[in-house]
Amino acid sequence: MLNLSRLSEPTFSPHSLNKYASIMACGNGYMGIRASHEEDYTQQTRGMYLAGVYHRAGRNETKELVNLPDVLGIELQLDGEHFSLLAGELLCWERELAFSNGELRRSLVWRSTRGKRFRIDSRRFVSLDQLPLVALQFSVTPLDGAARISFSTGIDATQTNSGRQHLDETSVQVFDQHFMQGVYETQDRSTDVVISASCQLDTPSENCFTAKNRRLNCHHALEAEEGQKVTLEKIVWITHRHDKELEQSAFAQKGLAELKRCAEQGYDALLEQSALAWDTHWQTSRVSVQSDDPQDQLTLDYSVWHLTAMTPAHNERCSIAAKGLTGEGYKGHVFWDTEIFLLPFHLFTRPQTARSLLRYRWLNLAGAREKAQRNGWAGALFPWESADSGQEETPEYAAINIRTGLRQKVASALAEHHIVADIAWAVVAYWQATRDSDFMRSEGLALLMETASFWISRATDVNGRLEIHDVIGPDEYTEHVNNNAFSNYMAWQNVHDALALMEHFNRQDDAFTEAAQKFLARLWLPSTDAQGVIPQDDTFMAKPAIDLRRYKAQAGKQTILLDYSRAEVNEMQILKQADVVMLNYLLPDKFDRKQCAANLAFYEPRTIHDSSLSQSIHGIVAARCGDTPRAYAFWRAGAAIDLGDDPHSCDDGIHAAATGAIWSGVVQGFAGMQIIDGELHLTPQLPAHWQRLQFSLQWRAARLDILVKGASVTLRSSAPIAVTLWGETHHLLANETRTVDLPEFGTATTEGGNNV
């Protein structure tokens, strides 16, 4: 077993309830449950979500990830007094999420307003080996004499998405005087959700069930002696379906049978099985660091935990929401975040999951084609935000101006077209890292050709030169510009790769080839100045710059919009997030170190980092430029978005992309992993206070274990592999271990067999 970190909540605070509910959320890619407390607090937002369960309720709404009936809430009465940490006195507190087995635990001692102390312990987990399973234990121990304890818990379907009800209750029932079940249906009748739950007390009690006002509850009451620990165990099985082949009652019965099987095994046995699954997962995915600062390892474990908990690896019809399965921010929609920030982790640890994420796009090609066609273009224009289909889900309007009553239009769906090239970029990365020709022949080439065809039709001929007009690049503070460098270069790459791979796979399409060649020859690629700076778009360099320091000090809060209108911001050199720097990151073989450094130096002072997708990318580019201290500062700032002190930074869910960027910041930043000309490169340079870094990568048929220690790297590969280390290519045989010192420090040594 690996020695994994634990994420702890240092104290109970009503102000940070929702932050911790997000960062300590449990999940398995099939479902996610916010780490809310069992007892209610007015400010606390409960949330349980199933990947792919979306619903649109009401006019002018987009689909949203449905907040399901709650199963974690427990109302506890102690000698008739309602248990809440807002009353009485909290004498002792511990709460932590153990990454090793996925268990969230809380332990506290509370003095009631009548002066009696109680110890309360709770544990819960979402199973990694049985996806529909959640289990919890909740224990109470009276510490000052006997006490009357009563618990009420069940399935609470009064949950909403900020007041929106998505589910109708079809039936609620109690079976065998013990098992509760609620059957629900989305209001559009497309999806059934069945929640089955059992509640068992380890001590004889009076109990009964009630079903009222959308709450199915089980109530237990008993007298407990001083020091007697009373434990309630709740096992829950949650399933859903979109196809209605089976009778609803038969589908519900299946859920009940699974619940009974699990309830028989009990919490501890179920946890052990799930912990084994986590252990296997950590063996291949963990990034271990030996650092003077223990926060660094915690940050990495946090990242891999959430990358696993948020990713629906089991279902290619779903992708990853911008907040994973931890909250309702962005309504659970899928953005470019998936391909650019989240897919790399999967690609290099479990490539089949990366494949599944790409298949989600492929399965939704029809919607993307339709969007392109509706707008007069060819090929596929993927939606800026999507849910469970290829339809555009970006809300038409954003926040309302409450003084004028007018709503601000969201332009992303109309012009943030770079997502098309981002998806193509991910397809090519997948091909390079896996050489999966089956995927390329069926899905990969279709994605590349459709996206390339879009760009070819999207370009405008200006006196013989092709330009791309009226777009929004990654920097969303600059809208409706011509020749955004990011979009043009990425579009060029998209078309180039489509052509190259069609040739590689002997796919003949003369009309496409001719159009693609013309596009590549004539598309305008904004060129660098003498220093290497690329203009962000046609008009950017002529706009005035202002001192952004006070806005940068409050990065992520978009405070600039309190002082300037969006239209004014658009007319200044103000970036929300990495744009040209993002381009430098994505196409490492196109820009040399000097150009990257020049763009970093020019654009960073003009970038507020108002998006969580920004600092980490600056960090990776800084690392590639050899500025490790700066790279580390960006990496920590990126991680602090959710893990830092701000009590409200992630109330509505973690920033999924920032979580992916923690992994990328280390693997692609400090370890310098890049794909150049289709080959694997590493140029490790660790922060000064890191003594060692260890991780594994899946590259084609090989699992490559990498250990960086000071200025030397030890590689071990399970299959023959070529790796370029600090510019020199090494060919390793299967099971060969090789240690290489940074060139000026020494030479390579080879041995057989040992594990890194």
Tell me which residue has its CB nearest to ligand BGC. 335
Q: Which of 557, 649, 650, 560 is nearest to 611 (CA)?
A: 557
What distance lies between CA 469 and its chain's CA centroid? 31
670 forms part of the interface with ligand BGC (CB under 6 A): no
391 forms part of the interface with ligand BGC (CB under 6 A): no
Q: Which amino acid is it at 630?
A: R
Element (H, E) at 255: helix 248-285
Question: How far apart are CB 660 and ligand BGC at their closest, in Å?
Answer: 11
Comparison of 38 and 476: residue with beta carbon closer to ligand BGC: 476
Distance CA 273, CA 279 (A): 10
Question: How far apart are CB 616 and ligand BGC at their closest, in Å?
Answer: 12
Question: Which 576-635 residues touch ligand BGC, going by CB under 6 A?
Answer: 576-577, 611, 613
690 forms part of the interface with ligand BGC (CB under 6 A): no
Distance CA 512, CA 503 (A): 12
How many C-beta atoms surround the C-beta of residue 251 within 10 A?
A: 18
Comparison of 322 and 433: residue with beta carbon closer to ligand BGC: 322
Q: Provide the CB-side half-sphere exposure for 469 (13 A, CA).
A: 7
- Binding track over 427-466 against ligand BGC, x by CB under 6 A: ----------------------------------------
382 forms part of the interface with ligand BGC (CB under 6 A): no
User: Please, where are the H alpha helices in 625-753?
Assistant: 628-643, 656-664
The only residue of 20, 305, 336, 489 in contact with ligand BGC, by rule CB under 6 A = 336
User: Please, where are the H alpha helices in 625-721?
Assistant: 628-643, 656-664
Q: What φ, ψ does residue 334 adopt, rounded to 5°?
A: -100, 130
Comparison of 271 and 617: residue with beta carbon closer to ligand BGC: 617
Question: Which 468-497 residues touch ligand BGC, going by CB under 6 A?
Answer: 474, 476
Question: How far apart are CB 221 and ligand BGC at their closest, in Å?
Answer: 47
Q: Provide the CB-side half-sphere exposure for 83 (13 A, CA).
A: 27
Q: Which of 274, 311, 280, 275 is nearest to 129 (CA)?
A: 274
Q: Provide the CB-side half-sphere exposure for 296 (13 A, CA).
A: 22
Question: How far apart are CB 322 and ligand BGC at their closest, in Å?
Answer: 4
Listed ranges 51-59, 331-339, 480-488, 739-747: which one lies at the site for ligand BGC (CB under 6 A): 331-339
Comparison of 141 and 536: residue with beta carbon closer to ligand BGC: 536
The only residue of 233, 301, 328, 337 in contact with ligand BGC, by rule CB under 6 A = 337
Q: Which of 263, 294, 309 is nearest to 137 (CA)?
A: 263
Distance CA 597, CA 609 (A): 18
DSSP label of 289:
E
> Terminal CA-to-CA distance of the chain, rounded, Å?
16
713: region left, alpha or beta (phi > 0 left; psi from -120 to 50 alpha): beta
64 forms part of the interface with ligand BGC (CB under 6 A): no
**Which amino acids are annotated catalytic?**
476
420 forms part of the interface with ligand BGC (CB under 6 A): no
Per rule CB under 6 A, count of chain residues that contact ligand BGC? 12
230 forms part of the interface with ligand BGC (CB under 6 A): no
Q: Sign of the C-alpha dihedral, residues 242, 244, 248, 253?
A: negative
The only residue of 65, 167, 322, 429 in contact with ligand BGC, by rule CB under 6 A = 322
Distance CA 672, CA 695 (A): 13
Distance CA 536, CA 167 (A): 46
Question: How far apart are CB 589 and ligand BGC at their closest, in Å?
Answer: 24
Question: How far apart are CB 487 and ligand BGC at their closest, in Å?
Answer: 13
641 forms part of the interface with ligand BGC (CB under 6 A): no
Question: How far apart are CB 557 and ligand BGC at their closest, in Å?
Answer: 12
Distance CA 248, CA 193 (A): 10
Question: How far apart are CB 661 and ligand BGC at their closest, in Å?
Answer: 11
In terms of Cβ atoms closer than 10 Å to its own Cβ (0-12, 13-18, 19+), residue 463 is exposed
Comparison of 112 and 577: residue with beta carbon closer to ligand BGC: 577
Question: How far apart are CB 566 and ligand BGC at their closest, in Å?
Answer: 13
Question: How far apart are CB 613 and ligand BGC at their closest, in Å?
Answer: 5
With b for 16 or more beta-carbon neighbours within 10 A and e for fewer, the 278-295 pattern comes to beebbeebbbbbebeeee
Comparison of 577 and 599: residue with beta carbon closer to ligand BGC: 577
302 forms part of the interface with ligand BGC (CB under 6 A): no
Listed ranges 110-118, 333-341, 615-623, 741-749: which one lies at the site for ligand BGC (CB under 6 A): 333-341
DSSP label of 16:
G
Comparison of 578 and 682: residue with beta carbon closer to ligand BGC: 578
328 forms part of the interface with ligand BGC (CB under 6 A): no
Q: What φ, ψ does residue 452 adopt, rounded to 5°?
A: -65, -40
Distance CA 87, CA 17 (A): 16
Distance CA 631, CA 596 (A): 13
The only residue of 617, 657, 702, 715 in contact with ligand BGC, by rule CB under 6 A = 657
Comparison of 608 and 657: residue with beta carbon closer to ligand BGC: 657
372: region left, alpha or beta (phi > 0 left; psi from -120 to 50 alpha): alpha
Comparison of 296 and 339: residue with beta carbon closer to ligand BGC: 339
Comparison of 99 and 335: residue with beta carbon closer to ligand BGC: 335
536 forms part of the interface with ligand BGC (CB under 6 A): no
The only residue of 179, 335, 425, 634 in contact with ligand BGC, by rule CB under 6 A = 335
Residues of the shown chain interacting with ligand BGC in the complex, contacts defined by CB under 6 A: 322, 330, 335-337, 474, 476, 576-577, 611, 613, 657
